[in-house]
């Protein structure tokens, strides 16, 4: 639901904000206390986000200043560059953090995360946007009243349930029908992920499409445009900022999703960007499955926190990007319109 709220505030951001109602007079003391409490709670939520980041970064940062911790996995460069490890014939990216020589190369995890996330987006965004167009533009009122809540209800399915579904049902089904070499792979995880993020993208897109002023469509129809012309050339462009925001928020959710990929992707840290049928290990799944075991303070622990910090930064940047894209698109499509 926060995604939805974000999009709504974004759409209103361009207008100058009027003074909040009910602030022009001296409120009774009970109201003022309540206001202070609520303001405090709001501050707490902002502060806690900042503190969470500080805490995670605090555990990761010593990695850059402790030579002995760096030595454990062969120096900072070993986190990002391939290396010919003892026992290997060629220079490779390897994530095997436990063993005689810990190998903590982050590239396989980034590749896995990117692969599953992009695949999940490829499945979910077109479907979600088409569903949003249908529900907002074509569906009868009765169909809409059933479809919209049903699709939004999908957003509340716990991801562990989706992961279980992907693991038990989807994996066998897809291996049998597509003849995949292994049961659990990036494709299965991406389909599971798509089910999780499609409702997010749908909800935001549908809101954007429904809030396009009816006058625009009415005017186009009056000028002789067909229904599909109205939808494709009037309503869709006008709602594009909202749809883009939905897609970016969906991406943020997908990159942070843990349970589905943990259960359905097979978690093999292979560096194979373009083969969807191979297994993949994501950053989130790695943190979830390894953090419980590591000794607090050692190099493996710090690298996992580094991964967490990177994930935090990426999702934060994506959220800002969503706001920025929406504003930029809005300026473009409303250029020349009277304010």
Concatenating the DSSP letter of every residue in 23-80 gives: -SS---HHHHHHHHHHHHHHHHHHHHHHHHHHHHHHHHGGGGT-HHHHHHTT-GGGGT
- Cβ 325 vs Cβ 244: under 8 Å: yes
Binding test (CB under 8 A) with another protein, winner from 8, 61, 79, 96: 96
Our finding on whether 271 is near another protein (CB under 8 A) is yes
Our finding on whether 115 is near another protein (CB under 8 A) is no
Select the span of 118-126, 146-154, 226-234, 273-281 touching another protein (CB under 8 A).
Answer: 273-281
* C-beta closer to another protein: residue 249 or 271: 271
Q: CA-CA-CA-CA torsion for 296, 299, 302, 308, nearest 10 degrees?
A: -120
Our finding on whether 100 is near another protein (CB under 8 A) is yes
Closest CB 47 distance from another protein, rounded Å: 17
Select the span of 90-98, 125-133, 148-156, 208-216 touching another protein (CB under 8 A).
Answer: 90-98
Our finding on whether 179 is near another protein (CB under 8 A) is no
Concatenating the DSSP letter of every residue in 160-202 gives: HHHHHHIIIIIHHHHHHHH--SSSS-HHHHHHHHHHHHHHHHH
Our finding on whether 128 is near another protein (CB under 8 A) is no
Closest CB 247 distance from another protein, rounded Å: 30
Our finding on whether 172 is near another protein (CB under 8 A) is yes
List for the chain the helix, strand, coil content (%; round to 5): 70, 0, 30
Q: Report the alpha-carbon distance of residue 10 to residue 199 in Å, rounded.
A: 20
Length of the chain: 339
First vs last C-alpha separation in the chain: 29
Radius of gyration of the chain (CA): 24
* C-beta closer to another protein: residue 67 or 86: 86
Binding test (CB under 8 A) with another protein, winner from 16, 18, 87, 224: 87
Show the binding pattern over residues 6-45: x = contacts another protein (CB under 8 A), - = does not: ----------------x-------xx-xxx-xx--x----
Closest to 303 (Cα-Cα) out of 52, 53, 72: 72
Q: Report the alpha-carbon distance of residue 201 to residue 122 in Å, rounded.
A: 12
Site residues (CB under 8 A) for another protein, limited to 142-171: 171
- Cβ 329 vs Cβ 238: under 8 Å: no
* C-beta closer to another protein: residue 38 or 232: 38
Structure tokens at 125: 């965004």
Closest CB 77 distance from another protein, rounded Å: 20
Closest CB 296 distance from another protein, rounded Å: 8
Q: Give the dihedral sign, CA 84/88/89/90.
A: negative
Our finding on whether 276 is near another protein (CB under 8 A) is no
The footprint of another protein (CB under 8 A) covers 22, 30-31, 33-35, 37-38, 41, 85, 87, 92, 94-100, 103, 108, 171-172, 175, 181-184, 262, 266-271, 278-279, 281, 289-290, 292-296, 298
């Amino acid at each position: 639901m926060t995604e939805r709220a974000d999009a709504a505030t974004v759409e209103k951001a361009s207008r100058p904000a009027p003074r909040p109602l009910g602030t022009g007079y001296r409120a009774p003391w009970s109201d003022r206390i309540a206001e202070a409490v609520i303001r405090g709670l709001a501050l707490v939520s902002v502060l806690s986000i900042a503190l969470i980041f500080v805490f995670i970064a605090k555990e990761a940062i010593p990695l850059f200043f402790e030579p002995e911790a760096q030595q454990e996995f062969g120096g900072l460069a070993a986190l990002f560059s391939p290396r010919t490890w003892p026992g290997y014939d060629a220079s490779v990216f390897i994530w095997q953090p436990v063993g005689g020589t810990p190998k903590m190369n982050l590239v396989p995890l980034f590749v896995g995360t990117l692969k599953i996330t992009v695949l999940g987006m490829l499945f979910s965004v077109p479907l979600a946007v088409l569903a949003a167009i249908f529900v907002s533009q074509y569906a009868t009122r009765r169909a809409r009243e059933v479809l919209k809540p049903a699709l939004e209800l999908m957003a509340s399915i716990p991801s562990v349930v989706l992961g279980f579904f992907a693991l038990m049902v989807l994996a066998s089904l897809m291996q049998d029908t597509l003849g995949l070499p292994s049961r659990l792979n990036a494709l299965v995880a991406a389909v599971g992920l798509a089910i999780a993020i499609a409702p997010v993208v749908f909800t935001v897109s549908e809101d954007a499409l429904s809030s396009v002023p009816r006058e625009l469509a009415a005017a186009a129809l009056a000028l002789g445009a067909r229904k599909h012309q109205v939808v494709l050339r009037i309503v869709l462009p006008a709602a594009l900022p909202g749809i883009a925001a939905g897609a970016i928020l969906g991406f943020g959710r997908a990159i942070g999703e843990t349970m589905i990929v943990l259960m359905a992707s097979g978690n093999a840290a292979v560096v194979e960007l373009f083969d969807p049928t191979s297994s993949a290990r994501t950053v989130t799944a790695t943190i979830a499955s390894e953090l419980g075991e590591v000794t607090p303070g050692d190099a493996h622990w710090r690298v996992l926190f580094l991964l967490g910090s990177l994930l935090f930064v990426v999702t934060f940047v994506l959220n800002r990007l969503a706001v920025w894209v929406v504003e930029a698109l809005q300026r473009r499509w409303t250029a020349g319109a009277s304010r």
